[in-house]
């Protein structure tokens, strides 16, 4: 889910808080990092991008509901391992079909191992543990704070990012929205502090991971698909080691929670990334990242409608404030010329915006594997 990502260059512009998940530019490549159509060849996807955009929003929006259902039958680490395992399987099939090469070099795999820990193993596990005690609606809204954390970290860690009044205002507004969702004026009554803190830490983990990926894997020669597949694989290995240490083997396998975990991994982690690659390649990262603003809305609707979770007035109001603040932090207007000319990479954010006659060279970087 988003979810926010590092900046990328694309025909629709770029976002300072959006992880590149696919190379951007005109024309769209046939695969992430792969060659585009030959001269004069127009290759249109079978399904309109608006439909795929809607499907991606639904998949990521329902991910929080699936996490909640999964934890009804399995331990949080088991839910995380399951989603990573099935997500990796989907990407492995895609890599094999497209005949992509896996990344090479010990250094690259070392960075992917760290990225897998920060961007997948940690946040996925934190969300699973958080939803033991908080509603899926609240988890979805906490996930929407990723752009806020991302901008805050980028101002500290990325020299090309410069604060503007609009972005700083958006940051402050976003965190006011968080306090509204949590009901700060009534002492956060009715909310589990530990669960809420874990959901917010998961969102922060995405932002930290994006900065790390951007600094270490930008310009890597492998495709986005192979990098993300390798990253998910390393996260699966990590959970395969950790899960037996902290959980016992299930004595039964409840069907509904098991189906929720399989769906969460194969659709919410694997297929969702493939859809996102295509969207970013076709319509650019700015439009592609707009899915971030639909995820908490769908997560809230799903939690209330399907799980009958309670909804108080401050939850939707605060969520709107968070999303407005997050949108403002994405704004690049008013930035310094150096910032406007910078062109960064990936991971769980930067640019130039090409003119209609330009065809930018895709920036190869690892995409954060899956938000939420």
Mean pLDDT of 313-327: 86
> For residue 249, with 0-12 CB atoms within 10 Å meaning exposed, 13-18 middle and 19 or more buried, which class applies?
exposed
Q: b/e per residue, 44-81, with b = 16+ CB within 10 A?
A: eeeeebeebbebbbbbbbbbbbbbbbbbebbbbbbbbb
Give residue-wise pLDDT tens across range 25-49. Answer: 333 333 333 333 444 444 566 788 8
The span from the CA of 366 to the CA of 209, in Å, is 11
Give residue-wise pLDDT tens across range 198-257. Answer: 999 999 999 999 889 988 987 777 888 999 999 999 999 999 999 999 999 888 899 999
Predicted confidence band of residue 306 (pLDDT cuts 50, 70, 90):
very high
Select the more confidently predicted residue: 346 or 85. Answer: 85
Contacts of 5 (CB under 8 A, 6+ apart): 15, 17, 18, 19, 20, 21, 150, 210, 285, 289, 346, 347, 348, 349, 367, 368, 371
Predicted confidence band of residue 171 (pLDDT cuts 50, 70, 90):
confident
Contacts of 99 (CB under 8 A, 6+ apart): none
Mean pLDDT of 99-128: 95
Percent of the chain with pLDDT strictly greater than 90 = 44
| Residue 88 contacts residue 236 (beta carbons within 8 Å) | yes
Q: What are phi and psi of 127, to 5 degrees?
A: -65, -40
**In residues, how long is the chain?**
372
What is the pLDDT at residue 221?
Answer: 79
Percent of the chain with pLDDT strictly greater than 70 = 73
What is the pLDDT at residue 275?
Answer: 92
Give residue-wise pLDDT tens across range 55-84. Answer: 999 999 999 999 999 999 999 999 999 999
Q: What does the mean pLDDT of the chain come to?
A: 78
């Amino acid at each position: 889910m988003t979810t926010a990502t590092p900046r990328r260059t694309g025909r629709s512009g770029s976002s300072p808080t959006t992880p590149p998940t696919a190379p951007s530019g005109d024309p769209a490549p046939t695969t992430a990092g792969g060659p585009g159509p030959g001269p004069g060849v127009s290759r249109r996807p079978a399904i309109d991008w608006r439909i795929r955009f809607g499907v991606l929003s639904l998949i990521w929006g329902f991910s929080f509901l699936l996490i909640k259902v999964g934890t009804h039958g399995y331990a949080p680490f088991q839910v995380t391992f399951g989603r990573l395992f099935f997500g990796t399987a989907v990407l492995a099939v895609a890599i094999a079909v497209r005949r992509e090469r896996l990344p090479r070099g010990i250094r690259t795999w070392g960075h992917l191992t760290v990225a897998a820990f920060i961007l997948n193993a940690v946040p996925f596990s934190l969300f699973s543990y958080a939803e033991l005690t908080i509603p899926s609606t609240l988890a979805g809204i906490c996930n929407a704070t990723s752009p806020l954390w991302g901008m805050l970290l980028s101002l500290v860690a990325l020299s090309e990012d410069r604060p503007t009044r609009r972005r700083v205002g958006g940051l402050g507004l976003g965190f006011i929205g968080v306090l509204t969702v949590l009901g700060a004026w009534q002492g956060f009554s009715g909310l589990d502090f530990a669960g809420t803190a874990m959901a917010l830490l998961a969102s922060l983990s995405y932002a930290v991971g994006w900065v790390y990926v951007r600094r270490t894997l930008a310009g890597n020669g492998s495709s986005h698909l192979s990098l993300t597949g390798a990253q998910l694989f390393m996260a699966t290995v990590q959970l395969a080691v950790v899960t037996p240490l902290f959980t016992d083997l299930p004595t039964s396998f409840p069907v509904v929670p098991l189906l929720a975990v399989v769906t969460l991994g194969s659709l919410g982690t694997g297929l969702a990334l493939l859809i996102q690659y295509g969207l970013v390649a076709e319509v650019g990262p700015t439009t592609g990242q707009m899915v971030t603003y639909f995820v908490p809305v769908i997560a809230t609707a799903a939690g209330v409608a399907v799980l009958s979770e309670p909804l108080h007035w401050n939850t939707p109001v605060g969520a709107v404030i968070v999303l407005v603040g997050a949108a403002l932090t994405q704004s690049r207007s008013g930035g310094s010329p150096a910032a406007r000319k910078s062109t960064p990479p990936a991971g769980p954010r930067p640019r130039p915006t090409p003119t209609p006659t330009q065809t930018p060279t895709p920036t190869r970087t690892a995409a954060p594997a899956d938000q939420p």
